[in-house]
Chains A and B, each alone.
Chain A
Amino acid sequence: MLATQSPWRRYAALGVAVTAALGLAACGSSKSPLSGSTSKGTVVIGSANFPENELLAEIYALALSAKGVKVTDKFNIGSREVYYPEIKKGAVSIIPEYNGALLTTSVDTKSTAATTAQVNAALKADLPSTLEMLNSSSALDSDSVTVTQAFATAHHLTSASSIAALKPYAKTMVFGGPPEMQTRPDGPAGLKARYGVKFKAFDALDESGPLTIKALQDGKVQAADVFTTTPQIITDHFVTLSDPKFNFAAQNVTPLVYKPAMTPTIISTLNAISAKLTTAGLLAIDKAVIVDHDSYSAVAAGWLKAEGLPS
């Protein structure tokens, strides 16, 4: 029953084979097993866990790579509540942000800043010293309170109607949105404070993705937080109610960066991108990725090329 030759040779051979295989896999793998903060000149580009944000991060990544910056990507980290602590300590260096949302959810929950100028000024004053917002683009992607065409018609609402118009019906309505919306200041609490709209319940869905769209279509929720550049607003004829009291502060796409990792090249590249990004443009590339299912890198490269930026 005993092996007649020492098993060591076999185990040793096995050990070598395993190490070689793992080495291959590790080299192929884009990340090192340990994540740490970055050295100067290398940047980690993160994104939140929804397609538009991943697309924006891809645009940043391609442009920076084209300029010779060493880029590592860490996409789909999660909600802001998860990635914000990481960028604060430098584990992530750049992330495409929405200035108003960043302000009211993570930096100053009591802020009443509403317009782009006010929001950016407030951020400049209150962001922690390691962080900085670069130039804002004109592209806006805000949270919203959106209903179906059928609901709007039945209750005589149009996109010009304010959220306050829902007040009489809110008690019978379920409001759907991303899970983190439930506790955010501009979520149900903010809607109640500013418009007197108190929904019957909140349904945690996803980041304005298929769950939210389906829930709205199927009537599982009667109103939902559909991000304003979601292509299905157009294809499904949803009606987004207006927000005159700025419950949702202006949300321009703006790069949030970790100052110690920045170089002049990086800053100028990102600002050049922001200068060219418009709401219409963003909506178009969102549609390409979300509805037409084109690949993120192809759409990102295409946009950069069309705008005459390095890719």
Chain B
Amino acid sequence: MVWSWIPQNWTIIWQYTLDNAFLGLVPPLIGLIVAIPLGVASVRWRWTYPPLLSLASAIYALPSLALFVVLIDYTGLGNLTVMIPLALFSLCILLPSVVDGLRGVAEPTRQAATAMGFGDVRRLFEVELPISTPVVVAGLRVAVVSSISLASVGQLIGVSSLGYFFIDGFQRDFPTEVYVALVLVLALALVCDLILVAVGRLLTPWQRDQRGRRPATAWLGGAPWRV
């Protein structure tokens, strides 16, 4: 372990960390933006959900590397080639989250909103989605952490991330790079996860008294893991 390597190369280390952060944060957001209308549709027209879910499972099972490679022909060698599959995987995680969240809104609550004069859209954005926030944030946490980790695979097609240090450290037989990058990926994921937890809390002030009763494990049940 060559500690001096870190300060000597801090510029590129930071550069690749930022690149990785970008690849880890933007695709889940895109996935979320797509998941919301899809989730709303799945709840409204129940028959659409099982096929959508099956499609999502099939896509989720695709090896990320294969997807990256197949896209090169269409989107070239830039970030987009990695971002699209990552967004797709995030969508596969977030769709069930959005649907579960929306379904978790108590029927009396929805009816009360309608009775108060809320139209469908307003009810969605001001009542149902806010109430779904904890479940959606839980899904978003999974999506972000997975994307941060998966982004490193993109290095195999030259899209930069902390994965660069895995490959380079391997090629030059220089374990220091590999260890440092591993720690940084984990640290980046941890920081983003904590930020999302904080954001979740900020967006759900009404839950502050309830916290502690429901374990934080709500999302753990079956949320898929991913490579």
Q: Which A residues are closer than 8 A to B by beta carbons?
A: 1-3, 6-8, 10-11, 14, 18, 21-22, 25-26, 28-36, 46, 49-51, 54, 74-78, 82-83, 86, 91-92, 206-207, 209-210, 289-290, 293, 295, 297-298
Interface residues of B, dominant DSSP: helix
Q: Which residues of the partner chain B approach A82 to less than 8 Å between Cβ atoms?
A: 72, 77, 157
Verify A78–B158 contact, CB threshold 8 A: yes
Residue of chain A at shortest CB distance from B9: A295
**Residue count of chain B within 8 Å CB distance of chain A:** 49
| A39–chain B nearest beta-carbon distance, Å | 16
Specify which of B157, B171, B199, B202 is in contact with A51 (CB 8 Å cutoff). B171
Besides A7-B203, A25-B25, A290-B173, 14 other CB < 8 A contacts?
A3-B126, A7-B126, A22-B25, A29-B22, A30-B160, A32-B78, A35-B77, A35-B78, A46-B158, A77-B158, A82-B77, A91-B77, A210-B173, A293-B176
How far does the alpha carbon of A2 sit from the alpha carbon of B168 in the complex, in Å?
53
Verify B205–A25 contact, CB threshold 8 A: no
Residue of chain A at shortest CB distance from B23: A29
Verify A210–B157 contact, CB threshold 8 A: no
Determine whether B71 belongs to the interface, using a CB cutoff of 8 Å to chain A: no
Determine whether B48 belongs to the interface, using a CB cutoff of 8 Å to chain A: no
Verify A209–B25 contact, CB threshold 8 A: no
Q: Which residues of the partner chain B approach A32 to less than 8 Å between Cβ atoms?
A: 78-79
Residue of chain A at shortest CB distance from B177: A293
| A237–chain B nearest beta-carbon distance, Å | 17
How far does the alpha carbon of A9 sit from the alpha carbon of B173 in the complex, in Å?
52
| A245–chain B nearest beta-carbon distance, Å | 31
Interface residues of A, dominant DSSP: mixed
Verify B206–A3 contact, CB threshold 8 A: yes
Verify B130–A50 contact, CB threshold 8 A: no
Q: Which residues of the partner chain B approach A33 to less than 8 Å between Cβ atoms?
A: 26, 78-80, 83
How far does the alpha carbon of A61 sit from the alpha carbon of B26 in the complex, in Å?
29
Q: Could you mark each residue 195-207 of chain B with 1 if its beta carbon is under 8 Å from any beta carbon of chain A, else 0?
A: 0000100110110
Determine whether B37 belongs to the interface, using a CB cutoff of 8 Å to chain A: no
Verify A31–B25 contact, CB threshold 8 A: no
With A2-B113, A25-B22, A74-B158 as known contacts, state yes or no: A51 contacts B168, CB within 8 Å: yes
Residue of chain B at shortest CB distance from A294: B8
- In chain B between 106 and 122, which residues have their CB closer than 8 angstroms to a CB of chain A? 106, 109, 112-113
Specify which of B2, B29, B164, B174 is in contact with A18 (CB 8 Å cutoff). B29
Q: Which residues of the partner chain A approach B185 to less than 8 Å between Cβ atoms?
A: none
Determine whether B170 belongs to the interface, using a CB cutoff of 8 Å to chain A: yes
Q: Show 21 A/B contacts (Cβ-Cβ < 8 Å), sorted by A.
A: A2-B112, A2-B127, A6-B126, A14-B202, A14-B203, A25-B21, A25-B22, A29-B15, A32-B78, A33-B78, A35-B76, A50-B171, A76-B158, A78-B156, A82-B77, A209-B173, A210-B170, A290-B171, A290-B172, A293-B5, A293-B176
Determine whether B40 belongs to the interface, using a CB cutoff of 8 Å to chain A: no
| B183–chain A nearest beta-carbon distance, Å | 18
How far does the alpha carbon of A209 sit from the alpha carbon of B106 in the complex, in Å?
60
How far does the alpha carbon of A290 sit from the alpha carbon of B177 in the complex, in Å?
13
Q: Which residues of the partner chain B approach A34 to less than 8 Å between Cβ atoms?
A: 78-80
How far does the alpha carbon of A96 sit from the alpha carbon of B225 in the complex, in Å?
40
Residue of chain B at shortest CB distance from A10: B203
How far does the alpha carbon of A22 sit from the alpha carbon of B28 in the complex, in Å?
13
Residue of chain B at shortest CB distance from A5: B205
